[in-house]
Structure 1
Amino acid sequence: MTVDAAGTTVADVVAALAGWYPPEWAADWDRVGLVVGEPSAPVTRALLAVDCVPETVDEAVEAGADIMIVHHPLLLRGVSSVAATTYKGTIVHRLIRSGIALLVAHTNADVANPGVCDALAQRLKLTDLRPLIPDGPPGVGTGRVGELPRPMTLAELVEFAALRLPATPGGVRAAGDPEQPVRTLAVCGGAGDPFLAAAAASAADAYLTSDLRHHVASEHLAAGGPALLDAAHWATERPWLDLLAGQLADALPIATVVSDLPTDPWTLHVPAAIYKPTTAKEPRP
């Protein structure tokens, strides 16, 4: 797409993203596309973020952005009011007053190739990628499965992932035998425990995602599923912003600013001081 710099509009940005991340690829429950903004409004600068929250809106205002492009929908569930007396209404009003449009690419960007999961896989240096759950054109689908640059133990892999992913207070945790060898890794950006069965069927040695639940993870491991790595939700999706910035730079004559502000709710993590990994049962006092 070639657009004259003086004539780039919100509609041009919407069209570009629709080409890379078709809205029809979004899940039925999802809400993607233009949320706030006039299609004819001019765009010279975009702020890219995982979440539209007051702090990232502050970044957009300070950067002089005309549009925010985010991953998570601001208005995912039905609302009856966007009055400035509500949390989301306050955000909507500030965007409008500041002349900033809001555009969302969520599950349609998750399954796209390249998309959220490809960006995550690239951060971990995976090769020979294939969808964890294929859906549609070749390479399109949920999650990715690929080969690590070299075989690692699970203990080595969790350290490697923590170094390669954006830093968060929670870091990366793992479940499984620390000495287990891992060569093939499945990944899914965001909350990926609905796809544990697919990870088990993929012949991957380990599966990295976020928001894994206690009982679901325990039962998965008890059934012989691959080892698990649980990273912060924001950290697994933040790499996509760099991919999107590159796509926009190639397609439209606008500047981009990528937000590095972690928007995970967790702000502190203190490991238990007396924790000692062991399989032996300690006698009860």
Structure 2
Amino acid sequence: MTPTVADVVSAVELLWPAAGAESWDAVGLVAGEPDAEVSSILLAVDAVLDTVDEAVSTGAGVLLVHHPLLLRGVTSVAADRYKGAALTRLIRGGCALLAAHTNADVVARGTSATLAATIGLEDARPIVPGAGNPSLGLGRVGRLSQPVSLGRLARALAEALPPTATGVRVAGDFDRQVSTVALCAGAGDSLLAHPDVLAADVYITSDLRHHPASEAAENARVAGGPALVDVSHWASEWLWLENAAAELRSALPGVDVTVSELRTDPWDFAVTQ
């Protein structure tokens, strides 16, 4: 029997339970007919027009994304604006839209865990443990097998992550030796003051704004603290998609599960000075 959209939703719930999502999040089925049959699933970080068109053109029955399309309220889904156009194309193309966001961040093979494994962190544990299960939670902190320079770690990240216009930005001494690493895939400035982050040699995350980054760097000069490494939000979470695809293939035998190679990082180029 061919799986349905409802079967995909059930599989996603088992892999990334909605109960693990933050209270402000909007995960689960966004659009689609639960009884529709699904022979293929496309995974992407973002439901932008390019990934929507890719899903429809390849005949995917479900577009599974990390970032919810309707995270914030809208008053219209008319097709003359981005979100309405995306939903219109998906509905007309018979492709459901499903989101696994912060519920996919906290699991054992989630976004931060994948980033930690990519750089070889040992004994990695969550920065913010989940309620009732300390092995699950937001972010990860652990140790490298041996100390490396901050510059070498940044170069390793640049090689491991898919390329983007903004690349890898670093606040800290290039030759500083680092061993303890804290990280949060995606936007992680909310954890800058966490004790585990402050105790680390380096903190890797995305979307660091001027004032929080400047304050953290200046505080590190006075009282000690981590170097900062800022990477593309999209790139840091794109790594997780292959883990997610593998888990879905096991949960839904016979369904073709693929990962979009399209870059949905919003920046097209940078001019260095």
TM range (shorter): over 0.9
Deviation at 1:23, TM superposition (A): 0.9
* Structure 1 residues 19 and 123, CA gap change in structure 2 (3 angstroms): same
Amino acid at match of 1:198: H
**1-side partners of 2:117 and 2:197: how far apart?**
22
**1-side partners of 2:41 and 2:126: how far apart?**
30
**1-side partners of 2:15 and 2:181: how far apart?**
25
**2-side partners of 1:131 and 1:235: how far apart?**
20
Residue in 2 that maps onto 1:204 = 200
**2-side partners of 1:172 and 1:228: how far apart?**
10
**2-side partners of 1:183 and 1:147: how far apart?**
5
**2-side partners of 1:191 and 1:138: how far apart?**
22
Contact 1:186 1:199 in 2 (8 A): no
TM-score after normalising by structure 2: 0.94
After TM superposition, the structure 1 = structure 2 runs for residues 117-196 of structure 1, keeping only pairs within 5 Å, are 117-136=112-131, 137-196=133-192
**1-side partners of 2:6 and 2:42: how far apart?**
16
Residue in 1 that maps onto 2:263 = 262
Amino acid at match of 2:260: S
Structure 1 runs not aligned, ≥5 long: 1-5, 273-285
Structure 2 runs not aligned, ≥5 long: none
After TM superposition, the structure 1 = structure 2 runs for residues 35-74 of structure 1, keeping only pairs within 5 Å, are 35-74=30-69
Contact 1:11 1:39 in 2 (8 A): yes
Amino acid at match of 1:233: H
The DSSP-based 3-state class of the residue aligned with 1:223 is: helix
TM-score after normalising by structure 1: 0.90
Whichever of the two has the greater Rg, that structure is 1
The DSSP-based 3-state class of the residue aligned with 2:193 is: helix
After TM superposition, the structure 1 = structure 2 runs for residues 15-94 of structure 1, keeping only pairs within 5 Å, are 15-94=10-89
Deviation at 1:51, TM superposition (A): 0.2
**Residue by residue, what CA displacement relative to the aligned partner does 1:106-128 show, whole Å, maximum 9, x if unpaired?**
11111122211111112212221
The DSSP-based 3-state class of the residue aligned with 1:140 is: strand
Matched, 1:237 2:237: yes
**Structure 1 stretch displaced more, 188-197 or 111-120:** 111-120
Matched, 1:248 2:248: yes
Deviation at 1:202, TM superposition (A): 5.8
Contact 1:84 1:90 in 2 (8 A): yes
**Pairs aligned (count):** 267
**2-side partners of 1:107 and 1:79: how far apart?**
21
**In percent, how many aligned pairs have the same letter?**
53
Which segments of structure 1 move beyond 6 Å, counting only runs of 4 or more? Answer: none
Supply the RMSD in Å over aligned alpha carbons.
1.3
Deviation at 1:155, TM superposition (A): 1.1
**Structure 1 stretch displaced more, 49-58 or 190-199:** 190-199
Matched, 1:101 2:117: no
